[in-house]
Structure 1
Amino acid sequence: MDMEKYLALADVLSSRGFPAQDSTSDVGEGGPGFHLAPLAASHGLRVADPALRLAEVERFRDDMEALAGKLTERWGEPYRVGLQTVRLRTAHEEIPEPWARLSLLVGDVHLWELPERGRWAALGVADLDQDDEVRLLLLVTDTDPP
């Protein structure tokens, strides 16, 4: 894990302007009111043995906890938020982006409010889709969580 790189990217995304429309950039995806950056991704887990995937998910969760500790030093104590109810709500109500998208990828996040910037930052492990790689994701948005 490249902690300094991830912290520098968190600083950039927490202050960078948002794109006017959905697009990709040098750091990931973005759109009106959000940046979504994959900090790290597994390789080859789409076809790997489930035990290997589970071990990699645990490694990514350990990395998430280590990074969350460093971000907590900068941004204060985070909320720990489960996104399962948000994911379930997408079936019958309109959930604002990027939260609807994030809820389909990540089960729970560390969530910081950055009031001096008018933004929220969420850190989680995208492991819900067994047919996709595992990713450590950082979301920065000005949209309040649902």
Structure 2
Amino acid sequence: MTTARHLATIDSLLAGPFPARPERSGPVDGGPGFHIAELATSEEFWEDDGTRSALVEEEYEAERDRLTALLTARWGPPEVLSPWSVLERSTDGEEIPEPWSTLGCHTPDLRLWRVGGRWAGLGVSQWDKELPYQLLAVVTDVGTP
């Protein structure tokens, strides 16, 4: 993982336009009002005894924390949001807008900053225990749920 490259990706997403309709471009999913970028993705854990997975999770959280420290120096302390709560609300029938509905499925918490008229955030996700960890950056102008 390269911290400088991750910061450059976040800066690029903040400066760029959002797509008019849902699309994927390389490691970036986007749509009206949002981008979700995979900054890094681990290997899958098909034959894992749990130890390797825990070490990778710690590595990804440490990189998120390094980036958080750098972005905190720029923008001040982040808010911490648990998008998992939106998953429960969506199963109760509430319509949750993107990117929050997707993040609620696999990202336990986000570090969020208000930057101009947008939100910028970092999180570590994993869709399922056998699947890879991902270090994610999110940029959106959609208000938090």
| Band of TM-score, shorter chain | over 0.9
Q: Is the 8 A contact 2:84 2:106 kept in 1?
A: no
Q: Which residue does 1:143 correspond to in 2?
A: 142
The aligned residue for residue 14 of structure 1 is 14
1:71 aligns with: 71
How big is the alpha-carbon RMSD for the aligned residues of Structure 1 and Structure 2?
A: 1.3
Residue 59 in structure 1 maps to residue 59 in structure 2: yes
Question: Partner of 1:98 in structure 2?
Answer: 99
Shift of 1:128: 4.7
2:106 & 2:131 partners in 1: Cα distance? 10
Report Cα offsets for 1:75-104 as digits up to 9, x if no partner: 221101122321211102111111010111
Find out whether 1:85 has 2:85 as its counterpart: yes
State how far apart, in whole Å, the 1-side matches of 2:46 and 2:33 are.
31
Structure 1 CA distance for aligned equivalents of residues 58 and 103 of structure 2: 19
Please report how far the alpha carbon of residue 47 of structure 1 lies from its aligned counterpart in structure 2 after TM superposition. Answer: 4.0
1:48 match: secondary structure: coil
Secondary structure, counterpart of 1:52 in structure 2: helix
Shift of 1:27: 4.1
Q: For 2:114 and 2:46, locate their aligned partners in 1 and report how far apart those are by CA, in whole Å.
A: 34
Q: Percent identity?
A: 38
Structure 2 Cα separation of the partners of residues 84 and 96 of structure 1: 14
- Find the counterpart in structure 1 of residue 120 from structure 2: 121
How many pairs are equivalent? 144
Q: Hey, what does 1:112 align to over in structure 2?
A: 113
Q: Which runs of 4+ in 1 moved over 3 A?
A: none
Whether the aligned pair in 1 keeps the contact of 2:106 and 2:126 (CA below 8 Å) is: yes
